[in-house]
């Protein structure tokens, strides 16, 4: 339009920056979240945040999730460090050399905790979690087996490698066997033995066994497998002319519990037959998902031909991972916990979780309707089932009833040979306080009372529920 001096005002186009917030308080009621394709136009940041935030209210509360082993609470300072590092690519060690140094320090700290022969020269790396760490460890086991076969004049391409493990392994080991063409030799549960034992491990080994997986902390019930006994039995097997089979310890949870609460338990690199160990930093390493760690006894235990070297990111960098680009935030958070807590701090935090677990297990075991299979005195995790006197309801009904109060407690049956056994499992993590445990126990008592009342009215309360990993 004309200006006062007669000149024409420049034509002003509407603002095209999608980050500009529109001054319309009702706009959130006028748009829909995209389901299958992008919407035509942008929306203000506040609207996008609010609508997505409101949908996420339908998720369960992470703090009340007693199914997951994954960390659900961290200190604000750790969260700030993670935000500071969210844009750093962990793989680009030339561009972010200090983040790479922090990763090296974490590996060395774990090597020291796990009694590696030379922790100052530790061989290991961070991963996105224990699943990737197990894949890497399994690849190293298979590659070393192939080298042994070739050294003896054989051809590994004409043979079928196998991996021995208990029926209680996490599903990542089944994935490894399927993805890398390895025969899984699964030792079934039997009676009250719910995990791998030495006799079962040895009985399933032969010349094509790439390794035995021993689990320090079963996801089914929280119990430790007898790593030292398994190693001793394999020592005897080798000494008697049998195959010389190495052990990988899946310490996804126990690898960050046993060093602090069970220092005299020999399960780690103190046992010469243990070739590698993994753990989840995002479980009892107290870090948000996802970070894991895998370490080898020494450089000889990790075949050199599995390591790739790249130089297009700015320098010659060795890498051994299934993933490539990933944020460095979780590695920094792991180092924060190591620095913040120190050894005695980790002892205090993990002991608090174990105290909550053992105390809660004791109270539940005292209820006439339940009996505990484990008591939380290894991992801060315990499983319990109903007694023979319970009629008209089962553990699945308990799980559903507890969910009404927000508690997520998995109910599941055990694997082959013990599918008759259905249990509930409680995982006690940092942040699940004595006060929350008291509230949970009170809700459990109310749930049982309601179920007993409903059962007396003639109903059968059951059905599948929850998950176990």
Last residue of a domain, one of 13, 29, 59: 59
- Judge whether 68 lies within some domain: no
| Total-model pTM | 0.90
Q: What is the pLDDT of residue 41?
A: 86
Length of the chain in residues, anyone? 469
Assess whether 3 and 120 both reside in one domain.
no
- Judge whether 322 lies within some domain: yes
Q: What is the pLDDT of residue 2?
A: 47
CA distances for 374 relative to 205, 246, 382, angstroms: 29, 29, 5
Assess whether 248 and 369 both reside in one domain.
yes
Assess whether 53 and 87 both reside in one domain.
no
Assess whether 79 and 36 both reside in one domain.
no
Assess whether 121 and 82 both reside in one domain.
yes
- Judge whether 452 lies within some domain: yes
Assess whether 45 and 163 both reside in one domain.
no
Assess whether 199 and 162 both reside in one domain.
yes
Q: Are strands 274-280 and 292-296 parallel, antiparallel or unpaired?
A: antiparallel
Domain harbouring 247, CATH code: 3.40.640.10
Q: How far, in Å, CA of 374 to CA of 380, rounded?
A: 10
Q: What is the pLDDT of residue 468?
A: 45
- Which mean pLDDT values do the consecutive 10-residue runs of the chain (469 residues) have? 54 52 61 89 86 91 94 96 92 84 94 95 92 96 96 96 96 96 96 94 98 97 97 98 97 98 98 98 96 94 79 57 85 98 98 98 98 98 96 96 96 92 97 96 97 79 51
Q: What is the pLDDT of residue 469?
A: 46
- Do 379 and 361 contact (CB within 8 A), yes or no? no
Q: Where are the alpha helices (DSSP H) in 257-297?
A: 258-261
- Judge whether 274 lies within some domain: yes
- Do 341 and 355 contact (CB within 8 A), yes or no? no
Assess whether 243 and 201 both reside in one domain.
yes
Secondary structure of residue 299 in the 3-state scheme: helix
Q: How far, in Å, CA of 275 to CA of 277, rounded?
A: 7
Q: What is the pLDDT of residue 326?
A: 84
Assess whether 304 and 369 both reside in one domain.
yes
Of 55, 36, 220, 247, which Cα lies nearest the Cα of 137? Answer: 247
- Judge whether 64 lies within some domain: no
Q: What is the pLDDT of residue 310?
A: 60
Q: What is the pLDDT of residue 7?
A: 56
Secondary structure of residue 109 in the 3-state scheme: helix
Of 170, 176, 175, which Cα lies nearest the Cα of 196? Answer: 170
What tokens appear for 183 in the block? Answer: 């025969």
Q: What is the pLDDT of residue 59?
A: 92
- Judge whether 267 lies within some domain: yes
Q: How many domains does the chain have?
A: 2
Assess whether 13 and 150 both reside in one domain.
no
Last residue of a domain, one of 9, 37, 59: 59
Assess whether 44 and 188 both reside in one domain.
no
Range of the domain at 49: 1-59
- Judge whether 67 lies within some domain: no
Q: What is the pLDDT of residue 46?
A: 85
Of 338, 358, 210, which Cα lies nearest the Cα of 279? Answer: 338
Beta-bridged to residue 413, according to DSSP, are 422
Assess whether 93 and 216 both reside in one domain.
yes
- Judge whether 104 lies within some domain: yes
């Amino acid at each position: 339009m004309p200006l006062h001096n007669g000149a024409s005002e420049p034509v002003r186009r509407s603002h095209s920056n999608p980050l500009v917030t529109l001054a319309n308080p009702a706009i959130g009621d006028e748009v829909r979240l995209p389901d299958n394709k992008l919407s035509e136009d942008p929306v203000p940041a506040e609207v996008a945040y609010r609508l997505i935030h409101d949908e996420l209210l339908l998720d369960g509360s992470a703090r009340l999730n007693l199914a997951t082993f994954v960390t659900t609470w961290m200190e604000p300072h750790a969260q700030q460090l993670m935000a500071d590092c969210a844009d750093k690519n962990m793989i680009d060690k030339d561009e972010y050399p200090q983040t790479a140094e922090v990763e090296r320090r974490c590996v060395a700290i774990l090597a020291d905790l796990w009694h590696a022969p030379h922790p100052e020269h530790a061989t290991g790396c961070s991963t996105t979690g224990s699943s990737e760490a197990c894949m890497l460890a399994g690849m190293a086991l298979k590659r070393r087996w192939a080298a042994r076969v070739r050294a003896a004049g054989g051809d590994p391409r004409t043979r079928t490698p196998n991996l021995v493990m208990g029926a209680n392994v996490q599903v990542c080991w089944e994935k490894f066997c399927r993805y890398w063409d390895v025969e899984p030799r699964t030792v079934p549960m039997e009676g009250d033995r719910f995990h791998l034992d030495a006799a079962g491990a040895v009985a399933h080994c032969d010349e094509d066994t790439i390794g035995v997986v021993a689990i320090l902390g079963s996801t089914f019930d929280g119990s430790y497998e007898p790593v030292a006994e398994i190693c001793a039995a394999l020592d005897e097997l080798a000494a008697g002319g049998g195959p010389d089979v190495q052990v990988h310890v899946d310490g996804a949870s126990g690898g960050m519990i046993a060093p602090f609460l069970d220092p005299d338990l020999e399960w780690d690199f103190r046992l010469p037959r243990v070739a590698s160990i993994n753990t989840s930093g995002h479980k009892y390493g107290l870090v948000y998902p996802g970070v894991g760690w895998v370490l080898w006894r020494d450089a000889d235990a990790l075949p050199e031909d599995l390591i790739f070297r790249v130089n297009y990111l700015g320098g010659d960098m060795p890498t051994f991972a299934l993933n490539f680009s990933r944020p460095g935030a979780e590695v920094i958070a792991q180092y924060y916990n190591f620095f913040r807590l120190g050894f005695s701090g980790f002892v205090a935090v993990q002991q608090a979780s174990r105290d909550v677990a053992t105390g809660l297990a004791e109270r539940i075991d005292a209820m006439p309707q339940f009996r505990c299979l484990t008591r939380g005195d290894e991992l801060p995790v315990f499983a319990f089932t109903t007694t023979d006197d319970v009629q008209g309801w089962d553990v699945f009904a308990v799980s559903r009833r507890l969910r009404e109060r927000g508690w997520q407690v998995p109910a599941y049956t055990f694997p082959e040979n013990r599918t008759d056994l259905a249990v509930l499992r409680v995982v006690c993590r940092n942040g699940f306080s004595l006060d929350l445990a008291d509230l949970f126990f009170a809700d459990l008592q109310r749930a049982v009372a309601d179920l007993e009342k409903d059962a007396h009215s003639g109903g059968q309360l059951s059905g599948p529920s929850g998950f176990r990993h």
